[in-house]
Structure 1
Amino acid sequence: MTGVRIAAAAAPFGRDLDEDFARIAALIDRARADGVRLLALPEACLGGYLANLDGGADGPPALDADGPEIRRLAELAGELVVTAGYCESDGGVLYNSAVCVSDGVVLGSHRKVHQPLSEDATYRAGNGFTAFDTPVGRLGMMICYDKAFPESARTLALDGAEIGVCMSAWPGSRTHAAADLAQDRWKHRFDLFDRARALENQIVWVSANQSGTFGDLRFVASAKIVDPGGEVVADTGVSDGLAVAEVDVAEALATARRSMAHLRDRRPEAYAPAGAPAG
């Protein structure tokens, strides 16, 4: 059996790209020293997230998908597979995007499909989910609110994803906020979604998140790795850090699916078409 060391980061990022790259370089160095092969960084780690979710917030710098910043990230990654979020500009249209890089090249990309609250005042929505091959296995990416929709991860799993990476800038509750972030109800939802998406699709789940505060938002951190049985095998809690675990991905999937294989046992003919009432 051959395991792969996987890390998910909980870290703060802001508008200063040089500072962001310095933090990313430090996280990559730390991961490399620990033998990590896959490192997931948070949503919007290049330039920071929105200052608030009320619409009209100051946004992050808009970057081209083939621009110098993404090339710089790909070079920093070296032999690691690294996923990271950024604000993508395509012909003047902005997307909340993620990229997967390794050895100086882009392996895959994703544009956030589901937009919470007033995020659509800044970004246009993406339109799909596609898995892709990497040196550590077939991988699928989501961004934050995407994971609240079972269809997102299920689409990736049906496309052969063995590892699901969700990059977030997930804040604590905006109303009735808990004094202790560990008890916050939005953190509780964040954790439930992570475990449910791993279990229902029987895949390895890697969840990175922003930490600290930015604008009006206080992020819940809680980066984690979840096995295909829905068990959390590494977790940063509400603090900065790296959640690191060694996983034999093929063996973990085979073990989880040996008796009850959720993808195999699906009955698509019994499911109502999207948007149609069940009757």
Structure 2
Amino acid sequence: MNDVTLSVASERFGRDMDESYATIERTIAEARRRGSALLVLPEACLGGYLPSLGGGDESEEKRQRRLQNLPPALELDGPEIARVSAMAGDMVVTFGFCEADGPTRYNAAVTVHGDGVLGSYRKVHQPLGENLCYSAGSEYRAFDTPVGRMGMQICYDKAFPEAAREIALDGAEIITSLSAWPTSRTGRAPNMADDRWKLRFDIYDQARALENQVVWIASNQAGSFGSLDFVCSAKIVGPGGEILAGTGVEPGLATATLDVQKAIAAARGGGMYNLRDRRPSVYGTLVDGDSMSRVDRVMSRA
């Protein structure tokens, strides 16, 4: 048996960096107590997320106020990332932050270990007005870790099947999806468990795991920040789409123990191996240069 224990968190992270470090340290300690080899923390752990998404008919005054309240921009090889790496020790820890590359900012994720950075990622798909604050990343790739081959996504990325498929085709056994996923901005449900954006969040998590037959680990922010209320719902999903552990609509830590390779082999060994049975030759509109113009034509008819 090659069982491994995996943990995923739904926790609140704001602008206070000392509070962020304390929450990370406390969560790592609890995950270590449970015997976890991997801990997945939310998007925007170090310094919090955006106070609002903006865009649309946002006034210039509101835009400037939002741009003056951005999270701290940190370098991938800077002391802040190294501090979390030291906390991780022999555990693999994935978390989100605002990455600085010269004057350019990215909504980013990094996977660390006591030995340093194992992999990094810059968010590709940007919702609403996030592009007013961050530049977009440009690639998906998997990387090797002590717990297996992994890949990372951030929040809105999970709405795009192509993104998870790209990572799975690069050999990822585990895909981590870090989020600051809020409740619906309109028509909110009295009970967060019934919120329609929370429902989308859960459907995407299970679908991405099932269609790629991988272990899918989805973290999320908790509580509120600015105008956003987060749905929590951190979870570990098996390669058959089954939820192995979750936090529900409360903050906390979800933990599951499984043999990752055995679970994937079982899902892919029943006659339906989705990655093998693809037919890329008939998927031309997904990748050809005219695909966006086709989308524009569809939108114009809507």
TM range (shorter): over 0.9
**Counterparts of 1:34 and 1:104 in 2: how far apart (Å)?**
22
**Greater gyration radius:** 2
Amino acid at match of 1:271: Y
3-state secondary structure, aligned to 1:2: coil
Aligned twin of 2:102: 91
Q: Find 1:146's aligned residue among 157, 171, 190.
A: 157
Deviation, structure 1 residue 88: 0.5
Any stretches of 5+ residues in structure 2 without a counterpart? 56-62, 296-302
Aligned positions of 1:1-279 closer than 5 A: 1-55=1-55, 56=63, 57=66, 58-258=69-269, 259-273=271-285, 274=287, 275-276=290-291
Deviates more, 1:56-65 or 1:89-98: 56-65
Deviations 1:46-82 (A, max 9, x none): 1000000115322111111111000001101111100
Deviations 1:250-278 (A, max 9, x none): 00000000021000101111112424359
TM-score by length of 1: 0.98
Amino acid at match of 1:265: D
Deviation, structure 1 residue 247: 1.5
TM-score by length of 2: 0.91
Residues 88 and 97, structure 1, Cα contact 8 Å, conserved in 2:
yes
**Counterparts of 2:51 and 2:258 in 1: how far apart (Å)?**
36
Deviation, structure 1 residue 152: 0.6
Deviation, structure 1 residue 165: 0.2
Deviations 1:125-151 (A, max 9, x none): 000100000000000000000110001
Deviations 1:233-261 (A, max 9, x none): 10100101111000100000000000210
**Counterparts of 1:263 and 1:234 in 2: how far apart (Å)?**
25
**Counterparts of 1:262 and 1:139 in 2: how far apart (Å)?**
18
Any stretches of 5+ residues in structure 1 without a counterpart? none
Higher helix share: 2
Provide runs of 4+ in structure 1 moved above 6 Å.
Answer: none
